[in-house]
Amino acid sequence: MRLKRLLIGRPLKSEEAQGQHLSKTSALAIFSSSALSSVSYGPEQIALALAVPGLITYGYFLYALIPILALLAAVTISYTQVAKANPGGGGAYSVAKENLGELPALAAGAALFSDYTLTVAVSITSGTEALTSAFPALIPHRLLIDLAVLIGVLMLINLRGVSESAKAFVFPTYLFVGGILGVIGLGLYQTWAGTAPVIPAVSEEKQGMNWLIFFLILRAFANGCSSMTGIEAIANGVPTFKKPQSRNAVITTYWMSGLLAVMLCGISFLILHHHILPVPGVTMMSQLTEETVGRGALYYYIQMVTMLILFLAANTAYNGLPPLMSLMARDGYLPRYLGERGERLSYSNGILLLTAASALLLIVFDGDMESLIALYSVGVFISFTIAQCGMVVHWRRQQGENWKWRLAVNAFGALITGVVVIILTVTKFLDGAWIVLLFVPLMVMGFRKIRVHYVEMGKELVLSADEPLSYMDHPIRKNCVIVPISYPTRSAVKALRYARKIGDEIIAVHIAENEETARAVAAVWSGRDPELELVTLYSPYRLVIQPLLDFVQKTADKQAPDDCVTVLIPEVRTERWWHRLLHNQTGLVLRTLLIRRENVVVTTITFRVHH
Amino acid sequence: MRLKRLLIGRPLKSEEAQGQHLSKTSALAIFSSSALSSVSYGPEQIALALAVPGLITYGYFLYALIPILALLAAVTISYTQVAKANPGGGGAYSVAKENLGELPALAAGAALFSDYTLTVAVSITSGTEALTSAFPALIPHRLLIDLAVLIGVLMLINLRGVSESAKAFVFPTYLFVGGILGVIGLGLYQTWAGTAPVIPAVSEEKQGMNWLIFFLILRAFANGCSSMTGIEAIANGVPTFKKPQSRNAVITTYWMSGLLAVMLCGISFLILHHHILPVPGVTMMSQLTEETVGRGALYYYIQMVTMLILFLAANTAYNGLPPLMSLMARDGYLPRYLGERGERLSYSNGILLLTAASALLLIVFDGDMESLIALYSVGVFISFTIAQCGMVVHWRRQQGENWKWRLAVNAFGALITGVVVIILTVTKFLDGAWIVLLFVPLMVMGFRKIRVHYVEMGKELVLSADEPLSYMDHPIRKNCVIVPISYPTRSAVKALRYARKIGDEIIAVHIAENEETARAVAAVWSGRDPELELVTLYSPYRLVIQPLLDFVQKTADKQAPDDCVTVLIPEVRTERWWHRLLHNQTGLVLRTLLIRRENVVVTTITFRVHH
């Protein structure tokens, strides 16, 4: 408990939930870390697709990058519409639930679940790669570092709660943006000054366009779409902005996308210009930084802030998924305990679940970025598409100012992101996209089954308004108490004393292996209490629990409708934990088995041994 | 349950415990598998000690073998004395307990525990090596095979019970002895016929005796002592012999030792004659069999029966340790449940414990024979020594026919095995002997602590003969029942109905996060049952369990001495297992925490949801 207090902090009252509101600059740092940090792997992913062994086709880089920038513009404009229309927050799930109905909402929920979990997995993997690029000695310990960051840092910080996390997380984003822009600026200057190497012409050569090359470009485009992950964060976080909330959110969205586009172009330019090729164990960001600024203090600065912002990006999932799960839990689609805030006001169960799911992903994929990113992008664009479709319906229903124009923007967004989903599915199917396409429908089924359970259980459990309380008209008539005993001990006597108080009929039961012990036990009890009704059950196979269960069942079957049966289990509790290993757990097993039965009340009465 | 019946068989009645008695030939096969099978690793261990890298000193082989044969003779004669004197069985622990007192008996118990566990580990490892020598493709799967044999075969057979195990286990011993004697005979014939290779002279060369060589020979001797493990089995198994028990046991002991000596000499001769050197992954037995009979059907026959008898040897530990633990448990030195027979009359808990301990050894040492054997021999010779010392005291007390002669035999046995313990400790200290020397005193301490616990607990728990039964003179006056509730549900109503039956005072408790829900819950209950005493506990930190525990404690503290407090926990039980994951386990946690308290009775009342 002490350790918990130290790590998690004191409990917080429910009224303390009213949070702080964020300025544009803070909000940009907090919500855009996920989107901005993706420049550290997005351009690299494009290059990876084009660096086919034996055939470096960097000449087609722009064929992938330009559509990505166009897509970024379209998605940004669509999401400013979301921010305007949906100041309540909640993202694709809420938008779909309000406008499209249950199934699309659940699909969005499932896609978002996979997105957020993958945000954590991808960002942590990538952040650790930034670290291990700078310090190659750490490469063998990558998975360990991943898990340490996940469990030791992110989980704990988030269990402490969101307010602290917000404050700490503003600077790294700006340090990162400043550093990257600096590297890009220096790189451009070097190019202008002519000090940088020249690109080998062979790499720029283009073959005639054929299906293979087309597919390669599509894959490069699909890989590069990972640069766009996290862009929806601001639209989902509108309620935390200072007023005017929507306007501030829209401006911040433009700033974020602008920065993202500039950094994407700059990094892509430097990759091409320095002709960076994939090297195992070293990220392209690390290579191009080294080419530009040398391996000095500035290089380590860039690697460290890249690592920091990526870990921050992982953190955004902790701000996103637990509240979403809470929303879905309150709608009955997830276990109710995911809907409750913990003692620090954070959704602790959701945080634990997200940590477990991410750890599983990290372990299963062993930090293989390309597979994780294939999974990631598909989920992200599915939720983009659903959100945009929802907005189309929203504008048609609401028909405010300029509604036709707005509908058109979102319809175009839906169309284009839908096409991206298809491209991603086709080009990355075997790389892992199939997992998401299998997972989303399965989760949707799961959500619905959970809700059905809650509804049906509610029907059975909740009293209808006009139903009388049974205990007022039909009291219990007779309570028959069964007490398992052996030789007289203080714990048995304590149990019998309680049985006398609550029971109308008391049956003491002794389970005997043979007649000899049966007679001995009967004699010693009857010598002390001649009135005790002692039933002896013979157990030739030396089993204790089964004969007792059978006897309880038989006794319960014999009762009249308004009678009840109570089994009173005398429990001896020892002081030290290892003493408990010396005793069989018959009481525990008996209790666990009897509690399943509806017609038996199970009572435990404890006698403590103090030595 | 069905699977259990299929694997373990029907339960057996206690009267069926009266077992069958064994003829000399059956007993030889059953009890000597452990001793005889050790020829498959004993001579190899001598050779391993002498095959120092860069210096093959096989010329000293006899310097180790001859003392081992002498030791074998001495131990055999000593153990025939044990067999005569101790027809009750039980081994070193019983002998020491009767004659030497508590501490030596417990030391013997600890040493035997380590012996038996190591018998299993060493024999299984060695048996698997016989298999993988014949089929090298299996070498990477050794540990898996070890564990499969341990858990899939030995544990199951022994849970079924001893009578079946005895019948099945007679043939392999004779097949093994026949096979080995055949190989030895053929080898001798080949030597006589001059067809076998000649030993290189360099290997027979002897250096001048110096301390290094002396230490080498001592190590070889210590390694070779592993050939003698299992020799005590017959003396411990006297009660299972046909009458005249002692006489038959003595004759069988001589037969066993004779066979053992012949096989030891024969195999050692063949190792020297064919100049077998250690080869990773292939046992020396496999090499010399291949040299003698070629890699034909006969070779595979020898490997298979070697494997079989080694697995049989592992099985002898299952016949030895669980009854010993049962004996010690009945003396209070081990948890009582180790003293009880399972439904098949086998000591199932002891069998499970032995399996777990052996599996742990196999996994920790990853099947490294030399370390395991170092552990093994030390434990075995400690128990030999204690048993012989016990016999010395026995003869002095009893003073029967020829008692002085017998005392002298056992005193000599004690002396010589004691010296071997010292040699083993010195030469194999770092190889693992230290583990046993640490483990034995720790276990002895543990045994004593367990007994102290049982004695002290008995004093607190058992009523003295003249103590009155408290429930007859001091009945409980008032029962105060606390029922945690929320909105009216059928499960809450069921609990309240029961509370009305058993309680004199009923307190319904509602844990509210804020005043709004508190008022709502109070209103809906008072509208239906104006007389219900509803207490609202505010929980600003959204905790449910802690406020309730505090309230229960406060209520319990307020009671008069003859009053009692019952906490009634309404439990909702769902039909399907996965539905249970959708509900928090507040009831379970509450029950677990409350059961620890002596002043509270904990009652669970279950409402089943049937959809």
pLDDT, tens digit, 9 for 90 and up, residues A267-307:
999 998 888 888 888 999 999 999 888 888 999 999 999 99
Q: What is the DSSP letter of A15?
A: G
* Nearest by CB: B582 against A450, A583, A606: A450
pLDDT band at B368 (very low <50, low <70, confident <90, very high): confident
> How many beta carbons lie within 10 A of that of residue A205, not counting itself?
11
Q: A447 or A584: whose pLDDT is higher?
A: A447
For chain B, domains (ranges, CATH) are 23-451 (1.20.1740.10), 474-608 (3.40.50.620)
* Nearest by CB: A11 against B487, B541, B598: B541
Is B573 in contact with A596 (Cβ distance < 8 A)? yes
Is B596 in contact with A606 (Cβ distance < 8 A)? yes
Q: How far apart are CA B447 and CA B435, in angstroms?
A: 18
With contacts defined as CB-CB under 8 Å, which chain B residues touch A611? 453, 456-457, 459-460
Q: How far apart are CA A575 and CA A553, in angstroms?
A: 34
- Residue B98, pLDDT score: 84
Q: Is the pLDDT of residue A163 over 60?
A: no
Is B579 in contact with A608 (Cβ distance < 8 A)? no
Selection from B257, B205, B168 nearest residue B61 by Cα? B205
Q: Is the pLDDT of residue B9 over 70?
A: no
Q: How far apart are CA B221 and CA B204, in angstroms?
A: 18
Task: Please state, in angstroms and as integers, the Cα–Cα distance from residue A547 to each residue in A534, A540, B14, following that order.
Answer: 15, 10, 16
8 Å CB contact between B222 and B427: yes
Q: What is the 3-state secondary structure (H, E, C) of A181-250?
A: HHHHHHHHHHHHHCCCCCCCHHHHCCCCCCHHHHHHHHHHHHHHHHHHCCCCHHHHCHHHECCCHHHHHH
Is B454 in contact with A529 (Cβ distance < 8 A)? no
Look at A307-311, A389-393, B584-588 and tell me which has the smallest mean pLDDT: B584-588
Is A490 in contact with B602 (Cβ distance < 8 A)? no
Is B498 in contact with A14 (Cβ distance < 8 A)? no
Q: B209 or A338: whose pLDDT is higher?
A: A338
Is A461 in contact with B335 (Cβ distance < 8 A)? no
Task: Please state, in angstroms and as integers, the Cα–Cα distance from residue A21 to each residue in A171, A242, A312, B195, B440, following that order.
Answer: 17, 5, 19, 97, 66
Q: To the nearest whole angstrom, how far is the Cα of B475 from the nearest Cα of chain A?
A: 6
Q: What is the ipTM of this complex?
A: 0.78
Q: How far apart are CA B157 and CA B170, in angstroms?
A: 15
B67-86 per-position pLDDT tens digit: 999 999 999 998 888 888 76
With contacts defined as CB-CB under 8 Å, which chain A residues touch B464? none
Is B609 in contact with A461 (Cβ distance < 8 A)? yes
Q: To the nearest whole angstrom, how far is the Cα of A156 from the nearest Cα of chain B?
A: 19
8 Å CB contact between B334 and B447: yes
Query: Across the A/B interface, how many CB contacts are shorter than 8 Å?
Result: 217
pTM above 0.90, yes or no: no
How buried is residue B472: exposed, middle or buried, by Cβ count under 10 Å (0-12/13-18/19+)?
Answer: middle
Q: What mean pLDDT is predicted for residues B452-471?
A: 86
- Scanning every residue of chain A, which has its alpha carbon at the shortest distance from the alpha carbon of B17? A541
pLDDT band at A197 (very low <50, low <70, confident <90, very high): low
* Nearest by CB: B453 against A341, A529, A579: A579
- Residue A275, pLDDT score: 85
Q: Is the pLDDT of residue B310 over 80?
A: yes
* Nearest by CB: B489 against A337, A463, A611: A463
Look at A52-66, B253-267, B299-313 and tell me which has the smallest mean pLDDT: A52-66
Q: What mean pLDDT is predicted for residues B520-528?
A: 89
Cis (ω within 30 of 0) for the bond into B104? no
How buried is residue B6: exposed, middle or buried, by Cβ count under 10 Å (0-12/13-18/19+)?
Answer: exposed
Is A460 in contact with B601 (Cβ distance < 8 A)? no
Is A609 in contact with B566 (Cβ distance < 8 A)? no
* Nearest by CB: A337 against B584, B595, B611: B584
> In the predicted model, what is the mean pLDDT of chain A?
86
With contacts defined as CB-CB under 8 Å, which chain A residues touch B459? 611
- Residue A164, pLDDT score: 47
- Residue B6, pLDDT score: 65
pLDDT band at B465 (very low <50, low <70, confident <90, very high): confident
- Residue B164, pLDDT score: 46
> In the predicted model, what is the mean pLDDT of chain B?
86
Q: Is the pLDDT of residue B39 over 90?
A: yes
